[in-house]
Structure 1
Amino acid sequence: MGNADLIYPSTNMECAHRVAIPPAQPFYKTLKSSLKETFLPDDPLRQFKNQPPSRKFVLGLQYFLPILEWAPRYTFQFFKSDFIAGITIASLAIPQGISYAKLAKLPPILGLYSSFVPPLVYAMLGSSKDLAVGTVAVPSLLMASMLGKEVDPVQNPHLYLNLAFTATFFAGVLQASFGFLRLGFIVDFLSHATIVGFMGGAATVVCLQQLKGLLGLKKFSTSTDIVSVMTSVFSQTHKWRWESAVLGCCFLFFLMVARFFSKKKPKFFWISAMAPLTSVILGSILVYVTHAEKHGVQVIGHLNKGLNPPSLTDLEFGSPYLHTAIKTGIITGIIALAEGIAVGRSFAMFKNYHIDGNKEMIAFGLMNIAGSCTSCYLTTGPFSRTAVNFNAGCKTAVSNIVMSTAVMITLLFLTPLFHYTPLVVLSAIIISAMLGVIDTDAAIHLWKLDKFDFAVCMSAYFGVVFGSVEIGLGVAIVLSMVRMMLFIARPRTLVLGNIPNSMIYRNMDQYPVATRVPGVLIIRIDAPIYFANASYLRERITRWINNEEDKLKELQENSLQYVILDMSAISSIDTSGISMLEEVKKNIDRRGLKLVLANPGSEVMKKLDKSNFIQDMGQEWIYLTVGEAVGACNFLLHSCKGENTRINSTAPDNNV
């Protein structure tokens, strides 16, 4: 076989095949299929086929209540592992819950309430074996920042508390709606770079705000930006309490050493997990013995005993601040959802099992709706608590039930013991946790890998630190959307060449060995064609043709005869895209060239057929592969060899 046969594999026209046009489908069937694909889960539908009604009922319950699926297989060995894990995360959940409630400017007892009811709901509805439910720092800060702008939590604590419950309710409604309607893809608009920058900025702001507790200050800026915080700190130097600062630094050092040791010796993970509760106990004993509360060390004070009181009647649906509660719920709900699902998927990967994102959204949503009615504020799956749960050897979601039981016992009998817990210890716990959220390694990796992603990350970080949490998140999302729009509006177009001694055609910039096919220009479009990019693609194709003709004139080679569009990457096309192809064809015809299409998909073929584009250009100019299209063009070029005029004839019928 000669080189010509290798480069032009379809010189024998019997090898070519006509591209089929899919049969037309009624609009209602197409719409039904699209809606089913978008909104209905696949697994239950497949399992329900050919099942009796009773079995369908059981399968339906198991789908919406995953606990019914794994509970019959639960063993005592599993319980021993889950019990140890549950007690371990409870030791972390109690001090963290109190700390994050203070961060949200809510009564500390709400942190314990939020670690009792939501974990029970998640244990029944969640699909993750490792996720440990609880309050988290960033949504707590967001809630304090957004609600605090409208209602002062000190001057009007009752209204502020009710708005927090209302925001939690709407966050739960949003999350559950995402799950029921399978709209989880909305969360994906928060790119990895956005989350890294936003979380790092929020962690920095949280750490700075803890200077109030470390320095024993009673009045502090309600703004979260670094300028306001540092101004508030250094304008009150005469009110700094050295006793509080020394105590806070000592406990912060203890927590950091415990974390460092646990990282170096992973089998001693429990040291880091127990360190916060140990700090609370030691701090409380120290204050009680020394009466440090009389010397500037602020303490938690009285905590109510008993389980969660109902709060359904406290939801402010008729309040003039309802729009603030809804906005807060939407933003905090999306952030909590993104963090919880990301954490759950990360740990599921370690154990090689799959979690259902839609089930997770439903579980998060329903547990927050239930929480808003039982004096809880927003909860999700925090990384720190889940990591402890994973390392403690949990087997199922029963570890959440054990943790919830431990918190219940604390609420019933042990809350008076937290009276003397110094606030500075809670500040140290928060700072220690937040330092682990600032992921400098991820930022450096973004810089090395993608400078635009790094810019998005830094814009989110500096937006949060120098502006506000909302500004930082908004700027990062806008930049991410701009980048996505650029990908859509400015798709890549490539010129393909033949890999020598093969039937393969690849990007000539990526493969320098690829050679041009004489008289043929092969262009590949790497994106669907929509109204947003149709004009650009028309100009870009024209520019490729102009460049190719200029290059051939300089080299004094044979003139261009055919333009092949490789459409294998074009998954869909709209009316603007079809109009663009019609204009391109007219332009190519005016130049005396011939347009050839290679491998258009089924959806594209349907649109081209309905628009009569195929009839205008002739179906004989549409080929299954680039190789067949090149072979046909080469056949015509050789058959017309010696002519000085451009080829403008009809190709032979290639319908075999």
Structure 2
Amino acid sequence: MEPLNNIGVFPDIVNNGDVDNGLAALIPNAVVVSDCDLNDPSTDTVNVPFLSSLGYVDMNDEVPLIDVPIFLISNDALQAQLTFKSKDNDMVQGDWLAYCDSSANWDVGEAIDVQWEESREIYGLNVIRIAEEGCCLVGAFAVLALTSFRCLLLDSTMVHSAADETETKELDLAILSSSRRWSDNLPSSYKVGLPPRQRLVSEFLDKLKETLFTDDPLRPYKNQKRSRQFIIGLQSLFPILKWGSEYNLIKLKGDVIAGLTIASLCIPQDIGYAKLANLDPQYGLYSSFVSPMVYAVLGSSRDIAIGPVAVVSLLLGTLLQKEFDYTKNRAEYYRLAFTATFFAGVTEAALGCLRLGFLIDFLSHAAIIGFMGGAAITIGLQQLKGFLGIQNFTKKTDIISVMKSVWGSVHHGWNWQTIVIGIAFLIFLLLAKYIGKKKRSLFWVPAIAPLISIILSTFFVYITHANKHGVQIVSTQKLISIFFVNHIKKGINPSSAHQIYFSGSNLVKGVKIGVVSGMIALTEAVAIGRTFAAMKDYQLDGNKEMVALGTMNIIGSLASCYISTGSFSRSAVNYMAGCQTAASNIVMSIAVGLTLALLTPLFKYTPNAILSSIIINAVIGLIDYNAAILIWKVDKMDFIACMGAFFGVIFVSVEIGLLIAVSISFIKILLQVTRPRIVLLGNLSRTSIYRNIQQYPEATTVPGFVIVRVDCAIYFSNSNYVKERILRWLTDEEDKLRDNGLPQIKFLIVEMSPVTDIDTTGIHALEELHKSLKKKDIELILANPGPGVMEKLQSSKFTELIGHNKIFLTVGEAITNCSKEVGEEA
């Protein structure tokens, strides 16, 4: 006879006097007592000193009990039952075992039935005695785990009479049925309850609150005076009033240092990013002057640094260029840029006001990683024009067109002077970034490196007059040009309100471009804000952030700014520099304003190669290959979304890559909804726990039962699949049982804990499932349906169809109540 699955073999150690230690090792924290511990095996007393340390004594003492299993080992099970009583003269409850030696010579079934009933009726204890007719079972014993209503048999390695696997299964079923007969008399503590009925309006308002107002925005106003509520309202609209009231010199010092540091980084970046959007350099500086000032008043993030960013600049430039050629229709191009910025702000603010920020979550993290990586490579390739000194360069952004343009200019378009300058300063920037990463205290080195590059390269060109003497070399007749930023208009932002389209066909174009660009900008800003909020352990209100970012871009569009958002590189430097509040954006804005007012003429001699080097250095950080590797390891479908967005951007265009990213994210959602996971459950030994048999291979199926779990809400989109998949599980299990000659299935248990909701189509699918099972003489059992599901099942009278007694709180309870029929048939 083989031992039961997942139990193992307990050796014959009774004759060696080591049964106590053996059981204690098998079942931790158990109290094990054998005959040798009794003062007089013929009486009802026990060795008090031995048990007093464990908290157990005889019936005459007053020592508290401890809540652990007790196992009695004795050649006389009936005698051992009388051993323990509590201080209140009540029988001790726990897990018991009685060992029977070879003197016992009972039929197995009789031993279980008679002895079980006898011990329960006479003594109220859980003792069982097992022997096999004509066999010596010294060392064999049974362990009864009442907490899970299961009885497990441990068989010894002693030689005994011939028995096959069928006999083992019969013995297992007999033991299992005996434990269930005992549990049948236990009262059921709980039934699956129905939630209190709600009125339609109340239910609708509750769902609306959970959907749109999960953060409970009115909580701060509760139990407050009107004057205090007014102040809280102003602080909610203008967070600067809240942190401004607590401002001090220590915070000011941190914000000034951080603001000046990010200003040194943003000035050269803004000039380069404006060129990505095909705008004059000053428009990048305009966007870092007005927009951060507005955000500091309305924004709730302490760490985010506002301004133009590479990806949004490239996306905006690409979309605008499809409508107008910026070299031929300059005025219309700029008007459309301001219009797109205005409606990007309207989109962002509207999402925040309507509390629809969850819509940006449809663009998955994996898709964003791929999109950002592809955009970074595209941006880097675009910089080859300035980096190599190429005059005639393609306006397309896909990698094939760009590389054709680059290699087509090898013999007559590359400029060695430009390349030397570009490579030299790119190495300098990368070295500065490496120093900042290696030593955190030198975080300021990569922050000021771009500004130092601008100053040094501009000074070099100015003193060498490269703009006059490096245009061509007569002897080779080859162009050797260094391209310059040229004149940056001096002065702060002019008004652009009159340039925005509010009618005509260009209005529609501006809205389309603004919505797409605004959503990308919003996604990046909220992700950055949440990242740094988590690092500093404060809460960031996503909806307030959307309103702040939207208002910022609306006002910016009226002041010659283009779309601004949170920059990850600048925000990281802001955080490392020790920023305390959003005032660091104000300091940065003032620094940019002074630059616009006083210093822009100095950029006249700045070579484009330096701007290309700065941008290449900045976008390298957007390629997060470690995140891509992690996505591959965690979720292959996410990796497909990541790579789809990545290759879409670099091989087609930025907007196509974005479309692929969104499409794959939606496809993944649809697959999860329409094809939910349905798993087969099995029982973990010596417990009442039922788990996925693929995750827990040691879990065993219960004879006569098929237990499945649906891991999703059941809706019209997946109800038919759920029904068919469950029937397929059932058919597969029936085939296995038939092949092995085992009892057929009598019950199908559906574990519904993960089923958060169900609609009418889902209920109809359950009704069809019930009909199909009825034809096979199989009963449908539901385990733990949730409140919303239970209410709908009750309203549809499905509970009456299958019977109220077929709905249980747990799978274990369902098996306990239904196993009698299985045992009888077995």
For residue 547 of structure 2, give the secondary structure of its aligned residue in structure 1. Answer: helix
CA contact (8 A) 1:10 1:628 kept: no
Q: Distance between the aligned counterparts of 1:321 and 1:218, measured in 2? A: 31
Instruction: Kindly state the Cα deviation for residue 636 of structure 1 after the two structures are TM-superposed.
Output: 4.2
1:88 equivalent in alignment to 2:261 = yes
Alignment-derived partner of residue 165 in structure 1: 338
- Select the residue among 233, 236, 240 that pairs with 1:63: 236
1:532 equivalent in alignment to 2:717 = yes
Alignment-derived partner of residue 474 in structure 2: none
Superposed CA offset, 1:333-357 (max 9, x none): 1111111111112122222222111
| Identity %, equivalent residues | 51
Instruction: Kindly state the Cα deviation for residue 292 of structure 1 after the two structures are TM-superposed.
Output: 1.4
Instruction: Kindly state the Cα deviation for residue 15 of structure 1 after the two structures are TM-superposed.
Output: 1.8
For residue 782 of structure 2, give the secondary structure of its aligned residue in structure 1. Answer: strand
Q: Distance between the aligned counterparts of 2:233 and 2:183, measured in 1? A: 54
Q: Distance between the aligned counterparts of 1:37 and 1:350, measured in 2? A: 27
Instruction: Kindly state the Cα deviation for residue 13 of structure 1 after the two structures are TM-superposed.
Output: 5.3
CA contact (8 A) 1:10 1:630 kept: no
1:256 equivalent in alignment to 2:430 = yes
CA contact (8 A) 1:488 1:533 kept: yes
CA contact (8 A) 2:444 2:577 kept: yes
- Select the residue among 108, 111, 114 that pairs with 2:284: 111
Task: Say which is worse superposed, 403-412 or 298-307, in terms of deviation.
Answer: 298-307
Superposed CA offset, 1:52-95 (max 9, x none): 32222211111121111111111101101110110000001111
Superposed CA offset, 1:277-329 (max 9, x none): 11111111111111112322122222222221111111112242333222211
Superposed CA offset, 1:91-139 (max 9, x none): 0111111110011101110111100111111111111111111110001
1:201 equivalent in alignment to 2:386 = no
**Which structure would you say has the larger Rg?**
2
Alignment-derived partner of residue 247 in structure 1: 421
For residue 195 of structure 1, give the secondary structure of its aligned residue in structure 2. Answer: helix
Task: Say which is worse superposed, 232-241 or 389-398, in terms of deviation.
Answer: 232-241
- Select the residue among 658, 662, 667 that pairs with 1:477: 662
Alignment-derived partner of residue 274 in structure 1: 448
Alignment-derived partner of residue 359 in structure 2: 186
State the TM-score, normalizing by the size of structure 1: 0.95
Q: Which amino acid aligns with 1:49?
A: K
Q: Distance between the aligned counterparts of 1:438 and 1:10, measured in 2? A: 61
1:433 equivalent in alignment to 2:651 = no
Q: Distance between the aligned counterparts of 1:421 and 1:536, measured in 2? A: 64
Q: Distance between the aligned counterparts of 2:315 and 2:646, measured in 1? A: 15
Larger fraction in helix: 1
- Judging changes above 3 Å, is the alpha-carbon distance between structure 1 residues 513 and 235 closer, same or farther for their aligned structure 2 residues? closer
RCO higher in structure (CA 8 A, sep ≥6): 1
For residue 321 of structure 1, give the secondary structure of its aligned residue in structure 2. Answer: helix
Task: Say which is worse superposed, 234-243 or 515-524, in terms of deviation.
Answer: 234-243
1:128 equivalent in alignment to 2:271 = no
Q: Distance between the aligned counterparts of 1:437 and 1:316, measured in 2? A: 34
Instruction: Kindly state the Cα deviation for residue 50 of structure 1 after the two structures are TM-superposed.
Output: 2.6
Alignment-derived partner of residue 737 in structure 2: 552
Q: Distance between the aligned counterparts of 2:591 and 2:353, measured in 1? A: 32
Q: Distance between the aligned counterparts of 1:253 and 1:623, measured in 2? A: 69
Alignment-derived partner of residue 643 in structure 2: 458
Alignment-derived partner of residue 811 in structure 2: 626
Instruction: Kindly state the Cα deviation for residue 590 of structure 1 after the two structures are TM-superposed.
Output: 1.4
Q: Distance between the aligned counterparts of 1:43 and 1:587, measured in 2? A: 46
- Aligned pairs for 1:285-296 (under 5 A) are 285-294=459-468, 295=470, 296=481
Instruction: Kindly state the Cα deviation for residue 22 of structure 1 after the two structures are TM-superposed.
Output: 2.0
For residue 186 of structure 1, give the secondary structure of its aligned residue in structure 2. Answer: helix
- Select the residue among 496, 506, 517 that pairs with 2:681: 496
1:356 equivalent in alignment to 2:541 = yes
Alignment-derived partner of residue 397 in structure 1: 582
CA contact (8 A) 1:10 1:16 kept: no
- Select the residue among 117, 127, 149 that pairs with 1:6: 149
For residue 487 of structure 1, give the secondary structure of its aligned residue in structure 2. Answer: helix
Q: Distance between the aligned counterparts of 2:227 and 2:652, measured in 1? A: 57
Q: Distance between the aligned counterparts of 1:415 and 1:303, measured in 2? A: 6
Instruction: Kindly state the Cα deviation for residue 3 of structure 1 after the two structures are TM-superposed.
Output: 5.0
Q: Distance between the aligned counterparts of 1:123 and 1:233, measured in 2? A: 43
1:486 equivalent in alignment to 2:671 = yes
1:617 equivalent in alignment to 2:802 = yes
Q: Distance between the aligned counterparts of 1:476 and 1:132, measured in 2? A: 26
Q: Distance between the aligned counterparts of 2:729 and 2:184, measured in 1? A: 26
- Select the residue among 551, 554, 578 that pairs with 1:369: 554
- Judging changes above 3 Å, is the alpha-carbon distance between structure 1 residues 153 and 393 closer, same or farther for their aligned structure 2 residues? same
Task: Say which is worse superposed, 377-386 or 486-495, in terms of deviation.
Answer: 486-495
CA contact (8 A) 2:149 2:183 kept: no
Q: Distance between the aligned counterparts of 1:485 and 1:545, measured in 2? A: 26
**Structure 1 residue ranges without an equivalent (≥5):** 645-656
Instruction: Kindly state the Cα deviation for residue 43 of structure 1 after the two structures are TM-superposed.
Output: 3.9
Q: Which amino acid aligns with 1:254?
A: F
Q: Distance between the aligned counterparts of 2:202 and 2:551, measured in 1? A: 33
Task: Say which is worse superposed, 51-60 or 271-280, in terms of deviation.
Answer: 51-60
Instruction: Kindly state the Cα deviation for residue 480 of structure 1 after the two structures are TM-superposed.
Output: 2.2
For residue 149 of structure 1, give the secondary structure of its aligned residue in structure 2. Answer: helix
Task: Say which is worse superposed, 41-50 or 121-130, in terms of deviation.
Answer: 41-50
- Aligned pairs for 1:494-643 (under 5 A) are 494-638=679-823, 641=824
Instruction: Kindly state the Cα deviation for residue 635 of structure 1 after the two structures are TM-superposed.
Output: 3.6
CA contact (8 A) 1:146 1:324 kept: no
Instruction: Kindly state the Cα deviation for residue 552 of structure 1 after the two structures are TM-superposed.
Output: 1.6
Alignment-derived partner of residue 649 in structure 1: none
Instruction: Kindly state the Cα deviation for residue 223 of structure 1 after the two structures are TM-superposed.
Output: 0.8
- Judging changes above 3 Å, is the alpha-carbon distance between structure 1 residues 163 and 138 closer, same or farther for their aligned structure 2 residues? same
Q: Distance between the aligned counterparts of 1:10 and 1:32, measured in 2? A: 45
Q: Which amino acid aligns with 2:550?
A: G
- Aligned pairs for 1:444-455 (under 5 A) are 444-455=629-640
Superposed CA offset, 1:3-54 (max 9, x none): 5862359533522533222233222221122222222364431222232322
1:341 equivalent in alignment to 2:526 = yes
Alignment-derived partner of residue 387 in structure 2: 214
CA contact (8 A) 1:526 1:570 kept: yes
CA contact (8 A) 1:44 1:59 kept: no
Q: Distance between the aligned counterparts of 1:163 and 1:591, measured in 2? A: 69
Q: Distance between the aligned counterparts of 1:315 and 1:489, measured in 2? A: 45
The count of residues paired between Structure 1 and Structure 2 equals 641
- What's the RMSD between the two structures over aligned residues? 1.6
Q: Distance between the aligned counterparts of 1:229 and 1:580, measured in 2? A: 55
Task: Say which is worse superposed, 412-421 or 29-38, in terms of deviation.
Answer: 29-38
Instruction: Kindly state the Cα deviation for residue 147 of structure 1 after the two structures are TM-superposed.
Output: 0.8
For residue 268 of structure 2, give the secondary structure of its aligned residue in structure 1. Answer: helix
Superposed CA offset, 1:507-526 (max 9, x none): 12211222222212111111
CA contact (8 A) 2:723 2:765 kept: yes
- Judging changes above 3 Å, is the alpha-carbon distance between structure 1 residues 458 and 384 closer, same or farther for their aligned structure 2 residues? same
Superposed CA offset, 1:531-582 (max 9, x none): 1111111111111111222222122222211111110000001111011001
CA contact (8 A) 1:223 1:229 kept: yes
Q: Which amino acid aligns with 2:712?
A: A
- Select the residue among 236, 249, 252 that pairs with 1:76: 249
